[in-house]
Amino acid sequence: MYWHYQVRKRSDKGEVLFDVVETYSGGVGYTQNSIAPLSDTQQGLITVLEMMLRDCKKYPVLIEEEEL
């Protein structure tokens, strides 16, 4: 099983929001909460941000149903 970053489009009480989630292969799903870049070094953070951007450009936007 592997994962990648992906943009999610969701609605919350009529407001459209976009965030980044981790998506898991094999139909497992994706994280419920948004993902924030994190690293213990500046270069590590830059690497994570570049990976997030590359994945967000590569994969289609996930569309989530409106929360009640």
Q: What is the pLDDT of residues 9-19, one digit of tens each?
A: 999 888 999 99
Confidence tier at 22 by pLDDT (50, 70, 90): very high
Q: What is the pLDDT of residues 31-43, one digit of tens each?
A: 999 999 999 999 9
What percentage of the chain carries pLDDT values higher than 90? 79
Q: Which residue has the tokens 């929001």?
A: 17
DSSP state letter for 35: -
Average pLDDT over residues 46-62: 97
Q: Which two tokens stand for residue 64?
A: 């989530």
CB 3 within 8 A of CB 23: yes
Nearest to 10 by CA among 26, 24, 30: 30
pLDDT at 1: 76
27 Cα distance to chain centroid = 16
At 24, which amino acid appears?
Answer: Y
